[in-house]
Amino acid sequence: MSTLRDLAEEHTHLRPADIDHLHRIAGDWQLLSDLSFADLLLWVPVDADGTFLCVAQVRPTTAPTAYQDDQVGRIVGGPEVAHLGVAYSQGRIWREGDPVWYGDVPARHEAIPVRLRTAEGEAGEVIAVVGRDTNLSTARTPSQLELNYLTTADDLAQMIADGTFPPPRHPGETTSAPRVGDGLVRLDAGGKVTYASPNAQSAYRRLGYASHLVGEDLAALHRRLAGDPLDGTEASNGILAALRGEAPPRREIDARGATMLTRALPLMPAGVPIGALVLVRDITEVRRRDRALITKDATIREIHHRVKNNLQTVAALLRLQARRVAMPEARVALEESVRRVASIALVHETLSMSSDEAVEFDGIVDRVASAATEVAATEVSVGMRRRGSFGVLPAEIATSLVMVLNELLLNAVEHGFPPADEADEAPVPAASGMVPVAAPEVDPSLRPEVVVSAHRFRKMLHVSVTDNGRGLPPDFDAERGSRLGLQIVRALITGELRGTIELRAGANGGTEAMLVVPLARNTPDGRSQA
């Protein structure tokens, strides 16, 4: 299905500003549809001969739809859209005519011209038409709720024709709540309540107001009800701003353990302020769940913080022990353990600053790579570079993968670019357990460098660690290596990460380690999840 912008750009000559305004209408017109008990269709002219294209549609949640089939993308002309032509050419709301039939559904047509106000604040030309089509098959009793809904809908329809609805959206706001069915309050020009829907009355009763709302000064009521004077003042100022013709941001009111979200909209058909529309929604349970989640997230972050501290303590103890050991082999083994523990601590440090169990892995890789060049036993200055992005990884993948990369980076630096007194020996990977042989020659013009590359493809993470050092010995066999480093890498890749690893000679010399790790995980019931 093509989007509103796609259809408008392909079939019309509307300007980008016009299309943006149509997007704003389509983002906020559920309110008008619910108040009107009608479907809304957004029509744009295609040709000068009176042909129109439907680029958006919304159905009411308060009444049955007039259309069982989606109308977006439909191009119509002739007598069927004569009412649209009148609204577009004359710039007025069209409400005349007899009901029409769609199959066995009778419907009433209305057409509302859409204007975009100029930079000077004046009403501009008509750029589109909103069709308001009501299903007449279900007879409705003209109750007080219905009459107030329809009256308010007519005011908003006139504001669309004037170019003053919808109001500008505030940064960070969505159009999801509150809606008409959550609770509606209508105010007169003085700020007094002229109508409150039953759901609105219930929402205020939960805040502690048991009387009827009709006749109350709503701004003053908000100041009295709010438990926090600052919240009450902000909510009250929002009502007063709407009465002045402004569109304030949404406000929340907390009182007696309950929370209510309010949205105030000015009512100013033909540019005359006649009052305001206030939508309210009881969000007490939503806020309780939010607070519970915040508490849970804080607890999880604190656990990761303590795990990180404990790992750093373990690393410090191992480091102290390494300094007291006389045997060089034992000292090297302890120092390697320190680096492994520290790399895991990096993951938990990142998780302690995150709100979920996932980490931005690029920063961790950069820190591990930097540490590898600092602690590796080599006299050569080796450059580290990362290509591509790992993106966000789940904690269970990140913890194992950081240990694998730590081992591979240290091996690449230490054994691809050994100290000068080892330059006459072939590379012996820390995990190989092989006897040194004569070293191959290295191009002295090449700058020593290790490159970590990553990209995602079809839910798989492809990683390579490549160096331009002296490469692998001719008879190197990764599967038969017996030392700890390579055993750790193989165990983590094939076990914890359920991936594959291949160590091979680089295309232009040096060594290349290729990893493929699935990003999907199986749930306990056997299903796969990303």
pLDDT in tens, 390-423: 988 888 888 888 888 888 888 888 777 766 555 4
Classify residue 91: in a domain, yes or no.
yes
Query: Hey, what amino acid is at 81?
Result: V
The reported pLDDT for the residue numbered 286 is 86
Residues 275 and 214 placed together within one structural domain of the fold: yes
DSSP label at 189?
Answer: T
Which residues of the chain register pLDDT less than 50?
423-440, 442, 522-530
Residues 458 and 514 placed together within one structural domain of the fold: yes
Residues 70 and 16 placed together within one structural domain of the fold: yes
Cα gap 85→21, rounded to integer Å: 20
Residues 30 and 130 placed together within one structural domain of the fold: yes
Q: What is the CATH number of the domain that holds 19?
A: 3.30.450.280
Residues 200 and 272 placed together within one structural domain of the fold: yes
Number of domains in the chain: 3
The first and second tokens of residue 429, run together, are 């990977």
Q: What is the CATH number of the domain that holds 489?
A: 3.30.565.10
Classify residue 424: in a domain, yes or no.
no
The first and second tokens of residue 225, run together, are 């009800």
Residues 58 and 119 placed together within one structural domain of the fold: yes
Residues 33 and 102 placed together within one structural domain of the fold: yes
What's phi and psi for 417, nearest 5 deg?
-135, 75
Classify residue 423: in a domain, yes or no.
no
Residues 148 and 13 placed together within one structural domain of the fold: yes
DSSP label at 447?
Answer: P
Residues 138 and 31 placed together within one structural domain of the fold: yes
What's phi and psi for 477, nearest 5 deg?
-135, 105
3-state secondary structure 192-252: EEEEECHHHHHHHHHCCCCCCCCCCEHHHHHHHHCCCHHHHHHHHHHHHHHHCCCCCCCEE
Q: Interior CA angle at 506 toward 504 and 512, to 5°?
A: 55
Classify residue 426: in a domain, yes or no.
no
Angstrom distances, CA of residue 218 to CA of 188, 279, 447: 10, 12, 73
Q: What is the pLDDT of residues 182-226, one digit of tens each?
A: 999 999 999 999 999 999 999 999 999 999 999 999 999 999 998
Residues 158 and 9 placed together within one structural domain of the fold: yes
Residue 87: which domain range? 4-162
The reported pLDDT for the residue numbered 414 is 76
The first and second tokens of residue 295, run together, are 């508490």
Cα gap 86→516, rounded to integer Å: 63
The reported pLDDT for the residue numbered 484 is 65
Cα gap 346→200, rounded to integer Å: 51
Q: Are residues 92 and 49 in contact, defined by beta-carbon separation less than 8 angstroms?
A: no
The reported pLDDT for the residue numbered 149 is 95
Cα gap 405→361, rounded to integer Å: 12
* 364: enclosing H helix or E strand: helix 361-375
Round the CA-based radius of gyration of the chain to a whole number and report it. 34
Q: What is the CATH number of the domain that holds 263?
A: 3.30.450.20
The first and second tokens of residue 207, run together, are 């805040």
Domain termination residue (choose one: 252, 284, 316):
284
Cα gap 422→424, rounded to integer Å: 5
- For tokens 């020009």, name the residue: 189
The reported pLDDT for the residue numbered 153 is 96
Cα gap 118→163, rounded to integer Å: 9
Classify residue 529: in a domain, yes or no.
no
Angstrom distances, CA of residue 259 to CA of 185, 202, 210, 213: 17, 12, 16, 18
Classify residue 174: in a domain, yes or no.
no
Classify residue 477: in a domain, yes or no.
yes
Residues 184 and 158 placed together within one structural domain of the fold: no
The reported pLDDT for the residue numbered 318 is 87
Domain termination residue (choose one: 136, 162, 188):
162
Residues 69 and 158 placed together within one structural domain of the fold: yes
Sorted by sequence, the CB contacts under 8 Å of residue 295 that are 6+ apart come out as none
Classify residue 308: in a domain, yes or no.
no
Cα gap 412→515, rounded to integer Å: 15
Domain termination residue (choose one: 133, 162, 191):
162
* 113: enclosing H helix or E strand: strand 105-115
